[in-house]
Structure 1
Amino acid sequence: MVNELWSPPGANLSRAGFLRGSGLLLAAAAGGGLLGACAEPGSGQGQAAAGGDGEGTDFTFLSYLTLDTLSMSPEMLGLAGGYFADHGLNTEVQVVRGSPQALQTLLSGVAPLTRVGAIDLMTARTEQDQPLVNVGTIVRRPSIRIIYSQDRPLAAPEDFVGKTIGVPSEGGTSEKTLMLMLQNSGIDPEQVTRQVVAQTPASFEMVRRGQLDGYMGSIDIALMVESTQEGGAILNPADIAAVKADTQIYVTTEEAIEQHGDDLRSYLAAIREAVTSIVEDSDRSRTIETLRGEYSFATLDDDEVAPRALDEGVALWTDDGNADELLVTDTDLWVEAVAELEEAGFISGAEDPESWVDNSLLEQ
């Protein structure tokens, strides 16, 4: 059972100048209930950022995270660096509350593309038989980190037994990743208590007080804790056990591919160019300067954290240096990831998972 847990006041990261000069896109109402697949909720409620000069084709991207985390740096640079505009897209980012709402809004036809965890698509395809398609893998490795105190290390599988770990949402990608990590390392996940906490640096205070033994957060938040909190430490779940299903993908629908194929192709090409620009910016200084011209939030504004977070991002996007196949989904690994979820009991009845992947929109 996952329990709700209080998080300290002031938990949200500071943010100013949220894409200066941009327009506001109101969140469209999506009919029906939320999908059962659950991931970390974003804090935005219909906030949005616009890119381009308004002369291109209007294109809406659904984001389950607000643009105040370097986890979204490909999208932010696509806007701030003009990559979407160069591909003829007047792009707007519509922020929704979490992956379930992102997928529900996508299915309603309000927008043609979103980015979520692979686990979300796999769950929706098997549990709701939704016509969702993976059209590109942006994050190829686990992008979540476990934040803990050096006084109570979490460095080996057995260190987790009997402990309490904070997760951003019940049943979300992070919790499932934690459970798969434990299961793959021979630990019964039920030996570890999970409690819902805010995914912010401020939640480290609960670790300090002993209310938690650790909690899961994004890379830039984890780096901020390590940099600013005495005794703060970080664990990459992959150092305990690999979780094949813990990737992030761009998702559309079969109908959207038919109706918006050219726009989807342009969007993905712009993302690929933005990522390539970050990869080629060896000290990340040019990237940081461009992003700071349009955004201001805690991890981006920190001269130590920002380049380290982007370094980690490059490793995630390129599978630690292989930039030749940016965004291309390896269908063999995809099938193995689906099998991993089935064996863990998270999904069942997966049929022809190769058909859930379409790399054709990445072709030049």
Structure 2
Amino acid sequence: MSRRAFLRRSAMATAAVAAGPTLLSACGSSPAAGGGGGEGAMTFLSLLPLETLSMSPELLAVAGGHFAKHGVEVELQAVKGSPQAMQTLLSGVGPVSRIGQIDVMTAVAESKQPIVNIGTLSRGSSLRIVYSKNDPLEKPEDFVGKTIGVPSEGGTSSKVVSLVLANAGLDPAKTQQQVTGLTPGTFTLVQQGRIAGYAVSIDTANIVQSQHDDAGVFDPGTVVKADTQVYVSTREVMKNNPEALKGFMAGIHDALAAYVADENFDKTLATLREKYSFATLDDDTIARKSLGEMREIWTGGDPDQPLLVTDESAWLAGYEELTKAGIAKPGGDATSWFDNSMLPESQA
């Protein structure tokens, strides 16, 4: 299949995504805007809602013209969690997604799915567990016997909660998980005692803390190594349409580089706000704080470190952690599950 035909198929297949996901295209004026993928469009499958700064690399790559600069027009398509993101990717609806390292390793090790990590975005956990200080979740032992809200059953957040417990030698089955919303409003369930806490993005955690004096936040990255986020594609796409993926990853790289270079985020926020509007982006304090925390995770605290490059030793350490916890099947060749060749040559 030619690159043009592939891109056309990706655009046409967008409508096949289940459960009425939100669509954001380069033509849209806000995350809720419709947008039609015309010729030359490719679809990015997002496990996250689009109205969050956790999507800031993709949002800036669209709004700042970074994708267009590299010859790709990208539509951002939200799906319901990492399981659906992987299923939709494998079905051929979109050529690229972003999911957790945990999901990649469990899927490939268990069922040998042809999914490949083509670039590591975060070098730490982008997840936060929001709780009430009246019943704190400050260490793994505090989770035992409690109910934790997660956005989807069996998704990244669910596996991270289990890994937090397993790494501390605790039985994950002793912590109940319940599917809940991701919004700041879900904190009322915590205050009512219906759940002990719930998993959210960094910007949502920050806005909850700004609204509620009794809100506390647990960072799973303090006890978990494998909770990184990676861009993934399939071996078929990598073989038949590498230029499309290279254009996408180059656009993401340029967007990340813009965030790193923009010390106070003045320019990047202005660019985002010309096109998008949602709660955490519109709140200047929350936006700057959240982007600052995310930048630390993208760079691993070292702005000179190559962006998006998967470090083999860190990748293998994550697999070892998952196998020891019984979350991923042992014996796999984890070195074959990532490939830096889709990144800009200066990075790969």
TM-score when normalising by structure 2: 0.87
1:238 correspondence with 2:225: no
Kept after mapping to 1: 8 A contact 2:82/2:156: no
User: Per-residue deviation at 1:26?
Assistant: 6.8
One-letter amino acid matched to 2:23: Q
Q: Which residue in the other structure is 1:300 paired with? A: 281
> C-alpha offsets along residues 145-192 of structure 1, whole Å, 9 cap, x if unaligned?
011112222223332233222222222211211121122123332332
User: Per-residue deviation at 1:209?
Assistant: 1.2
CA distance in structure 2 between the partners assigned to 1:57 and 1:158 by the alignment: 51
How do 1:124-135 and structure 2 match up within 5 A? Answer: 124-135=107-118
CA distance in structure 1 between the partners assigned to 2:14 and 2:39 by the alignment: 21
CA distance in structure 1 between the partners assigned to 2:166 and 2:326 by the alignment: 11
Q: Which residue in the other structure is 1:87 paired with? A: 70
Matched-pair identity in % = 48
Q: In structure 2, do the counterparts of structure 1 residues 154 and 270 end up closer, same or farther at CA, with 3 Å as the change threshold?
A: same
Residue from 45, 48, 53 that aligns with 2:24: 48
Q: Which residue in the other structure is 2:16 paired with? A: 29
Secondary structure at the counterpart of residue 27 of structure 1: helix
Kept after mapping to 2: 8 A contact 1:51/1:84: no
CA distance in structure 1 between the partners assigned to 2:324 and 2:105 by the alignment: 13
One-letter amino acid matched to 2:244: D
Kept after mapping to 2: 8 A contact 1:244/1:336: yes
Q: Which residue in the other structure is 1:221 paired with? A: 204
Residue from 250, 259, 262 that aligns with 2:231: 250
Residue from 212, 217, 222 that aligns with 2:195: 212
Q: Which residue in the other structure is 2:271 paired with? A: 290
How many residues are aligned here? 328
Alpha-carbon RMSD across the aligned residues, in angstroms, is 2.4
Kept after mapping to 2: 8 A contact 1:25/1:47: no
Residue from 145, 161, 171 that aligns with 1:178: 161
**Is the deviation greater in 278-287 or in 161-170?**
161-170
Kept after mapping to 1: 8 A contact 2:70/2:247: yes
CA distance in structure 2 between the partners assigned to 1:173 and 1:150 by the alignment: 25
One-letter amino acid matched to 2:163: L
Kept after mapping to 1: 8 A contact 2:99/2:232: yes
Q: Which residue in the other structure is 1:339 paired with? A: 320
Kept after mapping to 2: 8 A contact 1:166/1:195: yes
Kept after mapping to 2: 8 A contact 1:120/1:173: yes
1:69 correspondence with 2:56: no
User: Per-residue deviation at 1:344?
Assistant: 1.4
Kept after mapping to 2: 8 A contact 1:27/1:96: no
Kept after mapping to 2: 8 A contact 1:200/1:221: yes
Secondary structure at the counterpart of residue 296 of structure 1: coil
One-letter amino acid matched to 1:148: Y
Kept after mapping to 1: 8 A contact 2:116/2:338: yes
CA distance in structure 1 between the partners assigned to 2:39 and 2:304 by the alignment: 29
User: Per-residue deviation at 1:308?
Assistant: 0.8
CA distance in structure 1 between the partners assigned to 2:12 and 2:40 by the alignment: 16
CA distance in structure 2 between the partners assigned to 1:25 and 1:69 by the alignment: 26
One-letter amino acid matched to 1:92: E
Q: Which residue in the other structure is 2:5 paired with? A: none
1:260 correspondence with 2:241: yes
Secondary structure at the counterpart of residue 139 of structure 1: coil
Q: Which runs of 5+ in 1 are unaligned?
A: 1-23, 35-42
Secondary structure at the counterpart of residue 202 of structure 1: helix
Q: Which runs of 5+ in 2 are unaligned?
A: 1-10, 29-36
Query: More helix per residue: 1 or 2?
Result: 2
Q: Which residue in the other structure is 1:353 paired with? A: 334
CA distance in structure 2 between the partners assigned to 1:185 and 1:349 by the alignment: 20
Kept after mapping to 1: 8 A contact 2:128/2:217: yes
Q: In structure 2, do the counterparts of structure 1 residues 144 and 261 end up closer, same or farther at CA, with 3 Å as the change threshold?
A: same
CA distance in structure 2 between the partners assigned to 1:231 and 1:51 by the alignment: 41
CA distance in structure 1 between the partners assigned to 2:262 and 2:207 by the alignment: 22
How do 1:100-115 and structure 2 match up within 5 A? Answer: 100-115=83-98
Secondary structure at the counterpart of residue 243 of structure 2: helix
TM-score when normalising by structure 1: 0.84
